Chain A
Amino acid sequence: ELKVEQNPLFLSMQEGKNYTIYCNYSTTSDRLYWYRQDPGKSLESLFVLLSNGAVKQEGRLMASLDTKARLSTLHITAAVHDLSATYFCAVVSGGATNKLIFGTGTLLAVQP
C-alpha cells in the first residue's frame, strides 16, 4: 500500500535562507504533486512532476523527482515571508486505482 512521508513536519526559517523539504513514497509511481495551503484555504497546485529527473521551478521554489529513489524535494531559495504556508506532496498510486495519497505536510514559517 502506498505511503507518503514528508519531512520536516515543521520548518521555521529566516528570510533569505535556503532549505529543502523532502517527500518519500513507498511504491512505484510516475506522478507526484506539490501543493500549497494557506490557513483556512483550499489547496493550490504548485508543481506536477511526471517523470524521473523532472525539475520544475517557479520563483523561489524548485521541485525535483527521482523515481528510482522514490524521492521528491521542494527547495526554497532565499525565503520570504510570503512563502509561509503548509506544503504537501501527493503521489498517485499505480494501476487502475489512481489513488491520490498525501504526505502529512510541512508547515513553513518564514521569520523576518
Chain B
Amino acid sequence: NAGVTQTPKFRVLKTGQSMTLLCAQDMNHEYMYWYRQDPGMGLRLIHYSVGEGTTAKGEVPDGYNVSRLKKQNFLLGLESAAPSQTSVYFCASWSRPVAFFGQGTRLTVV
C-alpha cells in the first residue's frame, strides 16, 4: 500500500529476545495504529497514536510498548518476546476518511 512501510517483513525471535518494528508513513497523517492479526480473531488494536509524542493503549497492549517521537514513524517494541506474540502485525495511518495499511510483519517467536 502506497505511503505506509513496515520494517521488517519477516522475523523469527527466540523467547525472551527483544525487537522493534518500524512503521513509516509519508502522508503527514496524525493518527497511527498497530494491530496484530491472529486466525479467527480479526485485527486487534495494540496501541495507537493521535499525534507526534502521544501514544495510547488499545485492546491488547500487554507485552508491547510504542513510541512516536517523529510524526512519520510509529515504533512497536517487544521487550521480552513470548510465543503468544507470534502473529502478523499491521500498521495503519489514518486521515479522514481513509486508513492506509502497511504490508504486514510476520513474527514468529520460538
Contacts and interface: CB of A to CB of B under 8 A. Distances in A.
A17 to B, nearest CB: 24
A102 B97 contact: no
Taking chain B's interface residues, is the majority helix, strand, or loop, or is none over half, making it mixed? strand
B1 interface: yes
Interface string A90-104: 100000111111111
Contacts, number: 55
Contacts of B104: 42
A71 interface: no
Given A96-B50, A104-B41, 13 more contacts: A33-B99, A42-B101, A45-B99, A48-B97, A48-B98, A88-B42, A90-B99, A99-B33, A99-B45, A100-B31, A100-B94, A101-B45, A102-B43
